[in-house]
Amino acid sequence: MTTSDRPTRPVRRARRPRRQSRRVRLTRTLVVFVSLALVATAVSEGLMVINASAAVSCFAAYQDLRCTELQSTVPDAQAAIGNCSGLFTGNIPFGERCDMTAECMAHYFCLSQGTDQNVSSLSGSGSLGTCYPYALATETCNTTSDCDPSASLICDPVTFRCVAASS
């Protein structure tokens, strides 16, 4: 058998990356929608507002992230917008019912009645909360989330008092 008589093998082409299926895209969209449902409801009910200028800078920062920095193939709305300072302005005053800290006015956080902790998640905690003032310097605390973040305070694990964060 000569070289020309041999059957030729098909040439392998490089595989193209598979496109996401419609189901995967729909699932990811649904995950984001569900995680932001409480935010959408709070905004539509006037419990908080979205600050347009902060939203623009937050969106730009999110676009600058590399895929490897996102840590997951499933979108995480909390991680994407959780560090966007000033994105939300809450309208709920001290002592009123809340579902998340973003709904409370400045210097207050949503204290969960079920867990007695700060409801910092944008999807709530599943239990009712009340807007409660952050602890100031030298006041008692259980965790750093009890201390006023605008004053850069942390909860000292020895004294359980809010103190200035050391740089």
pLDDT, tens digit, 9 for 90 and up, residues 138-160: 999 999 989 998 899 999 999 99
Query: Which of the residue ranges 13-27, 44-58, 71-85, 141-155 would you say has the lowest mean pLDDT?
Result: 13-27
104 vs 21, 84, 136, CA distance in Å?
Answer: 40, 16, 17
160 vs 90, 139, 142, 153, 154, CA distance in Å?
Answer: 28, 8, 6, 12, 9
- Other C-beta atoms closer than 10 Å to the C-beta of 82 total 14
| Cβ-contact 38, 99 below 8 angstroms | yes
Tell me: the pLDDT tens digits for 118-137?
A: 887 776 767 789 999 999 99
Q: Is 32 helix (H, G, I), strand (E, B) or coil?
A: helix
**CA–CA distance, 141 with 111 (Å, rounded to integer):** 13
pTM exceeding the 0.95 threshold for the entire prediction: no
Domain extents for the chain?
135-167
